[in-house]
Amino acid sequence: MANQLTPQQRADIQEVYNRLGKFTRRIYLFNVIPPNKLNNARRAYAQMPSPTEETILLHDSTAFGSARNGFLLTSEHFYSRFTGYDPVRIQLSAIESIGYRAGSFGKNVIMNSRGKAFDTFVQGKDTASSRKIAQTLIGVIEVLQPHLAGAPKNPVPPSVNPQELHQKPVFARCIGCGATGKVGQKCKFCRKVIPTPQ
């Protein structure tokens, strides 16, 4: 059965979202999520198993606003997808801990579920907006899963190898010219081999 939000949870989530302040440009809440962005996210990475699963938060990390990359948070699951990485689907009730750390292009939100670490990227226009978006995501998940609110914010358990955090990337930036291409293949512009991101 789908997990419907209580009025108190809705109010608490709205309060967490309001802390974003001016950083709300690429993150949408409840019924203000543009339908075209929601449909694109559902088609690209968030195939929801239950039609009663309530959509709560959408982050669009695309350059042109298609929302085919980013994250979608529902009353039951967290879905995310970023270029070059496999889509992620995590059941909220299975999250054991959550935190964030600085990443290459923004912040990395790390969720530990059933002994495995899942790493997702949060990209804002700058470091401050990326941090705010990561804090908002974590705050909303803590409203939905109160057992996480008191948990320590250590994003990576000591037993997890940092190399295991990322799914295998398919695309990366060329070190020669900065163009995006497939890892291990030659860049079509400068012909240098595109390395796996560190």
Phi, psi of 100 (to 5 degrees): -145, 160
Q: How confident is the model at residue 176 (pLDDT cuts 50, 70, 90)?
A: confident
Element (H or E) spanning 119, and its range?
strand 116-122
Give the pLDDT score at 175. Answer: 76
- Tokens 């959408």, residue? 58
pLDDT surpassing 90 at residue 186 = no
Whole-number percent of the chain with pLDDT over 90: 14
198 vs 168: which has the higher pLDDT: 198
> Closest Cα partner for 172 from 159, 162, 187?
187
pLDDT surpassing 90 at residue 131 = no
124 vs 30: which has the higher pLDDT: 30
Domains of the chain: 7-163 (2.30.29), 168-198 (no CATH)
Burial of 144 (0-12, 13-18, 19+ CB in 10 A): buried
Partners of 181 in the β-ladder: 172
pLDDT surpassing 70 at residue 148 = no
Write down the mean pLDDT value for the chain.
75
Q: How confident is the model at residue 19 (pLDDT cuts 50, 70, 90)?
A: confident
pLDDT average, residue stretch 82-90: 80
Whole-number percent of the chain with pLDDT over 70: 65
Give the pLDDT score at 142. Answer: 86
Give the pLDDT score at 36. Answer: 94
Give the pLDDT score at 41. Answer: 92
Give the pLDDT score at 98. Answer: 79
pLDDT surpassing 60 at residue 153 = no
Give the pLDDT score at 149. Answer: 62
* Entry pTM: 0.69
